[in-house]
């Protein structure tokens, strides 16, 4: 198949087309036994689950257009090359946190990877009110390990520069983020949509120059501050869970950027899950303890990130940044600790700003989230979304003044008390 020109797969012909691949046979057994279904519910790709006599495997193939929109929006196939490279780096930096890759075919834009049996998309699980022990700790550790180990704090500089160059080629997916996350929500754009009752609030947001300046400062950071290899799209649709097991998937938006981007996107999505609970609970207040749990997930993400990052700082700081020779070797360990705390504070502030962008774009832009979209009662949906916009604005305008988790939770609970669009 490698030599063939690109052709999209379909469930019926997949066994004939991929049946000779040793990597697939090793996982799923004799192709005659394969059951194939296409399950992609993301915005971009085909995703097949192949189950056979000896197990299962996932085959993910890029389409030459944006699936969410159709072939009127062409999109290059090379995103699968960036996804493959990101997955292998994440696997090395946080082993077991992502599906293992069994085969990659660049011509077919196809990655064959672990089938995560019984796992579901975290976003759907949070909508259903399911808890996952250890989730926040897992995600915080994933962020710390991948962000630290992909940065100039840890990597040999020639390797880091080579990776910056490699992932700088992911221009089309970056362009999506630059437009959809950092620009379109605050202007009229053809593919934007929002719940009509939000119109007065949207007009207010778009009329606020301070808000737009904040978003453009963050966009500047995104395109200029090549601090580390980002997942690039780390929302709750990019995490799969089953009980206390979790995996991060879908790093096709990977690029070098500011550390706070991944952390902020993640936190924003858990906070939106919090704010959308009113649209999914059986009666008002029925999900209050689940709401509390969601905030503990945010707490665990951040404290897990902070503690793992700090520990990596003291044990794996072998890059050119903040070298030992300036601190520990000169008997100034306290200065090193201080420097680490300063870096973490910067990540926190960035994360809050990026979280604000993510909340606004999921309510006002093209790519919405199921938590809000599936609230059938439009008045209730508008109320939940307005709360997201209010919190997003508070984070965008106040990113330097939200002192810590408790202040973030106060803002969140205060937004949740707003009872109209
Ligand atoms: C056109 S792609 C829209 C969104 O889907 C992806 O999951 C990313 O979040 C992107 O912004
Ligand atoms: Mg995705």
pLDDT by residue for the chain (421 residues), tens digit each? Answer: 446 899 999 999 999 999 999 999 999 999 999 999 999 988 899 999 999 999 999 999 999 999 999 999 999 999 999 999 999 999 999 999 999 999 999 999 999 999 999 999 999 999 999 999 999 999 999 999 999 999 999 999 999 999 999 999 999 999 999 999 999 999 999 999 999 999 999 999 999 999 999 999 999 999 999 999 999 999 999 999 999 999 999 999 999 999 999 999 999 999 999 999 999 999 999 999 999 999 999 999 999 999 999 999 999 999 999 999 999 999 998 999 999 999 999 999 999 999 999 999 999 999 999 999 999 999 999 999 999 999 999 999 999 999 999 999 999 999 999 998 8
Instruction: List the residue whose alpha carbon is closest to atom 6 of ligand 1.
Output: 43
- Token pair recorded at residue 270: 């858990």
Ligand 1: nearest atom to the Cα of 366: 3
Contacts 24+ apart (CB under 8 A), 197-202: 197/378, 197/379, 197/382, 197/421, 198/363, 198/364, 198/382, 198/385, 198/386, 198/389, 198/421, 200/421, 201/386, 201/389, 201/421, 202/364, 202/389
Å from CA of 57 to ligand 1 middle: 24
Per 3-state DSSP, the chain is made up of helix, strand and coil in percentages (nearest 5) of: 55, 15, 35
- DSSP single-letter state for residue 6: P
- Token pair recorded at residue 50: 């192949």
Ligand 1: nearest atom to the Cα of 43: 5
Q: How far apart are CA 364 and CA 206, in angstroms?
A: 11
Q: Is 265 in the pocket of ligand 1 (CB under 6 A)?
A: no
- Token pair recorded at residue 276: 């959308």
C-alpha 311: how far from its chain's center? Answer: 24
- DSSP single-letter state for residue 194: -
C-alpha 361: how far from its chain's center? Answer: 14
Q: What are phi and psi of 218, to 5 degrees?
A: -70, -35
Q: Is 268 in the pocket of ligand 1 (CB under 6 A)?
A: no
Asked whether the whole model's pTM tops 0.85, one would answer: yes
Question: In 49-208, which residue ranges form alpha helices assigned H by DSSP?
Answer: 79-93, 122-127, 135-149, 157-168, 171-180, 199-206
DSSP readout, 289-340? HHHHHHHHHHHHHHHHHHHHHHHHHHH---SSSS-GGGTGGGT-HHHHHHHH
Strand order in the sheet with 239-242: 120-121, 239-242, 245-248
DSSP helix/strand/coil, 385:
helix
Distances (CA, A) of 234 to 56, 186, 248: 25, 22, 8
User: Euclidean distance between the first and final Cα of the chain, in Å?
Assistant: 53
Q: Is 63 in the pocket of ligand 1 (CB under 6 A)?
A: no
Å from CA of 173 to ligand 1 middle: 8
Q: Is 58 in the pocket of ligand 1 (CB under 6 A)?
A: no
Task: Tell me which residue has tokens 């250890």.
Answer: 134
Ligand 1: nearest atom to the Cα of 180: 11
Q: How far apart are CA 95 and CA 88, in angstroms?
A: 10
Query: Contact at 8 Å (CB) between 199 and 174?
Result: no
Task: For residue 292, give every residue at least 6 positions away whose Cβ sits within 8 Å of its Cβ, in sequence order, or none.
Answer: none
Write the burial class of residue 339 (CB in 10 Å: 0-12 exposed, 13-18 middle, 19+ buried).
middle
Nearest Cα to Cα of residue 23 among 55, 45, 69: 55
Q: Can you give the pLDDT at residue 237?
A: 97
Ligand 1: nearest atom to the Cα of 68: 1
Task: For residue 406, give every residue at least 6 positions away whose Cβ sits within 8 Å of its Cβ, in sequence order, or none.
Answer: none
Q: Is 227 in the pocket of ligand 1 (CB under 6 A)?
A: no
Nearest Cα to Cα of residue 372 among 195, 121, 132: 195
Q: Is 389 in the pocket of ligand 1 (CB under 6 A)?
A: no
Q: Is 173 in the pocket of ligand 1 (CB under 6 A)?
A: no
Q: How far apart are CA 114 and CA 98, in angstroms?
A: 9
Q: Is 352 in the pocket of ligand 1 (CB under 6 A)?
A: no
* Pocket perturbation via mutation, ligand 1, pick of 40, 41, 42, 44 by most ligand atoms within 8 A of CB: 44
- Token pair recorded at residue 308: 């793992």
DSSP helix/strand/coil, 242:
strand
Q: Can you give the pLDDT at residue 382?
A: 98
The β-bridge partners of 55 are 52
Task: For residue 226, give every residue at least 6 positions away whose Cβ sits within 8 Å of its Cβ, in sequence order, or none.
Answer: 164, 256, 257
Q: Can you give the pLDDT at residue 3?
A: 60
DSSP helix/strand/coil, 239:
strand
Ligand 1: nearest atom to the Cα of 44: 2
Residues with CB under 5 A from ligand 2 (ion): 42, 250
């Amino acid at each position: 198949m490698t030599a063939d020109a690109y052709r999209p797969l379909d469930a019926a012909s997949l066994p004939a087309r991929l049946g000779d691949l040793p990597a697939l046979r090793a996982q799923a057994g004799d192709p005659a036994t394969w059951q194939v279904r296409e399950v992609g519910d993301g915005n971009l790709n085909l995703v097949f689950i192949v189950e056979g006599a000896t197990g299962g495997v996932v085959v993910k193939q890029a389409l030459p257009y944006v699936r969410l929109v159709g072939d009127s929006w062409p999109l290059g196939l090379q995103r699968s090359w960036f996804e493959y490279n990101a997955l292998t780096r994440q696997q090395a930096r946080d082993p077991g946190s992502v599906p293992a890759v069994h085969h990659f075919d660049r011509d077919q834009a196809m990655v064959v990877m672990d089938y995560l049996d019984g796992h579901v998309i975290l976003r759907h699980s949070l909508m259903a009110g399911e808890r996952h022990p250890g989730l926040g700790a897992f995600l915080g550790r994933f962020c710390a390990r991948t962000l630290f180990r992909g940065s100039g704090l840890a990597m040999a500089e020639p390797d880091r520069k080579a990776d910056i160059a490699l992932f700088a080629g992911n221009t089309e997916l970056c362009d999506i983020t630059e437009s959809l996350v950092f620009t379109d929500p605050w202007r009229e754009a053809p593919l934007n949509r929002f719940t009509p009752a939000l119109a007065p609030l949207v007009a207010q947001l778009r009329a606020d120059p301070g808000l737009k300046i904040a978003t453009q400062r963050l966009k500047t950071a995104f395109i200029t501050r090549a601090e580390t290899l980002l997942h690039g799209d780390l929302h709750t649709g990019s995490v799969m869970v089953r009980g206390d097991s979790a995996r991060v998937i879908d790093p096709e938006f990977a690029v070098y950027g500011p550390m706070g981007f991944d952390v902020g996107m993640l936190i924003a999505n858990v906070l939106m899950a919090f704010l959308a609970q009113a649209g999914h609970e059986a009666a008002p207040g029925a999900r209050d303890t689940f709401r509390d749990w969601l905030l503990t997930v945010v707490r665990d993400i951040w404290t897990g990130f902070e503690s793992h990052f700090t520990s990596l700082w003291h044990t794996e700081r072998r890059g050119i940044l903040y070298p030992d020779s300036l601190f520990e070797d000169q008997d100034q360990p306290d200065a090193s600790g201080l420097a680490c705390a300063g870096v973490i504070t910067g990540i926190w502030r960035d994360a809050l700003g990026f979280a604000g962008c993510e909340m606004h774009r999921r309510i006002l832009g093209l790519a919405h989230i199921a938590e809000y979209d599936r609230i059938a009662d439009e008045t209730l949906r508008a109320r939940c979304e307005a709360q997201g916009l209010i919190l997003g604005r508070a984070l965008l305008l106040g990113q330097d003044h939200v002192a810590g988790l408790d202040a973030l939770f106060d803002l969140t609970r205060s937004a949740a008390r707003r009872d109209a669009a």
